[in-house]
Amino acid sequence: MKKIINDTKAPAAVGTYSQGVELNGTIFFSGQIGLDPENGEMKEGFQAQLDQVMKNIDALLEGTDLKRENIIKTSIFLTDLGKFSLVNEAYENYFTAPYPARSCIQASALPKGALVEIEVIAAR
C-alpha cells in the first residue's frame, strides 16, 4: 500500500503532485527547487537555490525518519549544464562515500524559474 508524504518543513507542492510517495519501503520524492518553505519565495542565484534544495531534501528525509545515507538515486535538472561543477562541490559536502547513483541533464526551463531541481529516491 502506498503512503503519501506531506511535510510542512519542505515547500508545498506547486502543482498536482505529492511531495513524495512511499511504496514497500522505497520513497520517491518529487523534485525540489530553491523555494523557501517559510515564505514560498525562490532564493536568488544558483548557489542559494542549490543550498535551499539540499535543505528541502533534508526536511523531507527528516519527516520520514530517513537520513542522507538512505538516498539511493538522485536526478538533477539544471538550466545551465555549465554549473555541473558546483553541483559536484555540493555533493562532496552533502554526501559521503559511497555516493548514490545519479543522473544530470540540462533542461530549457524549470518550474517557477528555478535554476536547479533535484529529485531523490530513498530506501529504508
Q: How many residues does the chain have?
A: 124
Q: What is the largest CA-CA distance in the chain?
A: 41
DSSP 52: H
- Spot the catalytic one: 86, 104, 110, 121: 104
121 annotated active-site: no
Burial (Cβ within 10 Å: 0-12, 13-18, ≥19) of residue 114: buried
Alpha-carbon distance of 76 to 103, in angstroms, equals 6
Q: Which three cell numbers stand for residue 6?
A: 506531506
Alpha-carbon distance of 25 to 90, in angstroms, equals 27
The catalytic site residues sit at 104
